[in-house]
Amino acid sequence: MELPDPFLPGAISLLDQLDKRMMVMLRDGKTLIGDLRTIDQFANLVLHNTLERIYVDSYYGDIPRGMFLIRGENVVLAGELTEDEPKSLTKVPLEEILRMQKEKQEEKEERDKARRRILSGRGFVSIIVWNRLIAAAPGKALNFRIFQQFLQHSKLAARKMSTESTGPRKHNVVFVLGPPGSGKGTQCAKIQQNFGFVHLSAGDLLRAERKREGSEFGELIETHIKNGSIVPVEITCKLIENAMLASGDAQGFLVDGFPRNKNNLEGWQKEMNDKTKVHFVLYLAAPLDVCVGRCLGRSEGRVDDNEETMQKRIVTYNEQTMPIIDYYRGLGLVRQISSEPGPDEVFVSVEKVFTEAGFNSQ
């Protein structure tokens, strides 16, 4: 086999990268970025103008480290850096990224504690208990009393495992989407009556929270509703989750008018994916002029049922909600029904969709 001339085997091949900007990942998880000044046969590196880069989700921040000597045995990955600042991530100040890193670490520690508690309850720490009993015994000698204690712990753990729930049951969810005035509320009422689902209108929940005395979100919700814009996802998800918990052991939930945009979708997936199962999206389609006429013709006293706000809501729907429907369509989860006919005629099609999905009418 012919080798390139000159052939530089192993770590010394990085000599070609001298004075270039490098990214180095270490065994302890740290990521360093700096100018490579020297390297030896043991892959010991010296970086100049070094930054320690911290990543948290889609954010990052840098800590200046100056000249940095790295032992080769600690290097996991090293390579030339083509761009110093990743375009797909958002850079935040050092104090902010350190705060986010701390919160992430605390979340991980809480998850680890919960995992250990579950494993302990299922008998997986018996060997730990055994070792502790041995260590506590006089002279660390194995005797019948220690063995009895070990067996007792194992039996208790096994009994707890047999009676322990496998985890919280996920709520059945159907998203109900469509333009303003497409009849989502009307059809949800019929589904609730015939299939025993609980209707959760994101809009109604927000309006109720806006009116609730002492609400910390009331003023913010009021502003968004008047402007025809979308309320932050954290608020909406929290209100939906609270309503689900308050509904007890319901057969399922109709989440009406949510998710309305990408931020809503990402928030739902982050906060609710492990608590719910989305069976499908009921998409009620109707011409926009029909929807506008319905909204302007209803007399519910809603501040967002006026022509100016309706135009804003329609623009928001076309730009932000339709891509969500297309996303679920790509997953094969959209059940589209024309809501232009009368409510009873529309419900005939809706009823068929729910029956085919395995939900029996009551």
**Is residue 210 annotated as involved in ligand binding?**
no
Residue 7, pLDDT score: 45
Q: Is 231 annotated as a binding residue?
A: yes
Domain 11-93 and domain 171-357 have a common topology? no
Is 0.75 surpassed by the pTM of this model?
A: no
pLDDT tens string 294-341: 777 665 555 555 677 777 888 888 899 999 999 999 999 999 999 999
Least-confidence region, from 29-33, 219-223, 297-301: 297-301
In tens, the pLDDT along 146-171 reads 555 555 555 555 444 444 444 566 88
pLDDT of amino acid 87 = 81
- Supply the DSSP symbol for 217: S
Q: What is the pLDDT of residue 151?
A: 55
185 marked among binding-site residues? yes
pLDDT given for residue 140 in this prediction: 47
Query: 326 phi and psi, to 5 degrees?
Result: -65, -35
Distance CA(215)–CA(44), nearest Å, equals: 59
Which CATH code, of 2.30.30.100, 3.40.1390.10, 3.20.20.70, 3.40.50.1820, is assigned to 11-93?
2.30.30.100
Is 298 a known ligand-binding residue?
Answer: yes
What architecture is the 171-357 domain classified under in CATH?
3-Layer(aba) Sandwich (3.40)
Enumerate residues 6+ apart whose C-beta is below 8 A from 230.
Answer: 224, 260, 261, 263, 264, 316, 320
Alpha helical stretches, state H, the chain? 94-121, 126-136, 144-163, 184-195, 202-211, 218-227, 233-246, 262-271, 288-297, 307-316, 322-330, 343-356
**Where do the structural domains in the chain lie, given as residue ranges?**
11-93, 171-357
The whole-number average pLDDT for the span 333-351 is 93
Instruction: Tell whether 154 is in a known binding site.
Output: no
Check whether 302 is labelled as a binding-site residue: yes
Is 260 one of the annotated binding-site residues? yes
| pLDDT value at residue 161 | 44
Judge whether 183 is annotated as a binding position: yes
Listed ranges 230-234, 239-243, 312-316; the one with the highest mean pLDDT? 239-243
